[in-house]
Amino acid sequence: MSTLPPIWLTIDTDDFFHHPKFQGHPKRSKLNTEQISISNDLKLSFSRFEKWHLNNLSMPITFFVIGEQFKCNIFKSLLEKLLSNSKKKGGKLTIGCHGYTHTCWSAFDPNPESFKADLINAKTIIKKSVGDFWRPWFRAPGGYIAPWMAEILKEEDFVIDSSINPTFFLSIKSGKRNKKLRYNGWKAVSLAMKKAGIIERPWLTTFYPALPSCGPALHIPFLKNFASSTWKKYSNTTYASEIEILNSDVAITTVYWHLLDHSKKGGNWIPPLIKK
Ligand SMILES: [Zn+2]
Q: Round to whole Å and give the CA distance between 252 and 39.
A: 33
Q: What is the pLDDT of residues 182-205, one digit of tens each?
A: 889 999 999 999 999 999 999 999
| Alpha carbon of 102 to ligand 1 centroid (Å) | 6
Please state the domain extents for the chain. 7-267
Residue pair 99/66 in contact (Cβ under 8 Å)? The answer is yes
Crossing angle for the helix pair 40-54 and 73-88, to the nearest 10 degrees: 0
pLDDT, tens digit, 9 for 90 and up, residues 137-146: 999 999 999 9
* CA 189 to ligand 1 centroid distance, Å: 19
Question: What is the spatial distance between Cα 63 and Cα 116, in angstroms, rounded to a whole number?
Answer: 21
Average pLDDT over residues 151-173: 94
Residue 21 has pLDDT above 70, yes or no: yes
- Report whether CATH 3.30.43 matches the domain 7-267: no
CA of residue 161 to ligand 1 center, whole Å? 14
Q: What is the pLDDT of residue 1?
A: 52
| 3-class secondary structure, 97 | strand
| HEC secondary structure over 155-218 | HCCCCEECCCCCCHHHHHHHCECCCCCCECCHHHHHHHHHHCCCEECCECECCCCCCECCHHHH
Mean of pLDDT over the chain: 93
CA of 98 to the centre of ligand 1 (A): 7
What's the predicted TM-score (pTM) here?
0.95
Quick one: pLDDT band at residue 136, thresholds 50, 70, 90?
very high
Question: How much is the pLDDT for 253?
Answer: 95
- pLDDT over 90, % of the chain: 80
Q: In this predicted model, what pLDDT tens digit does every residue of 237-266 receive, in sequence order?
A: 899 999 999 999 999 999 999 999 999 999
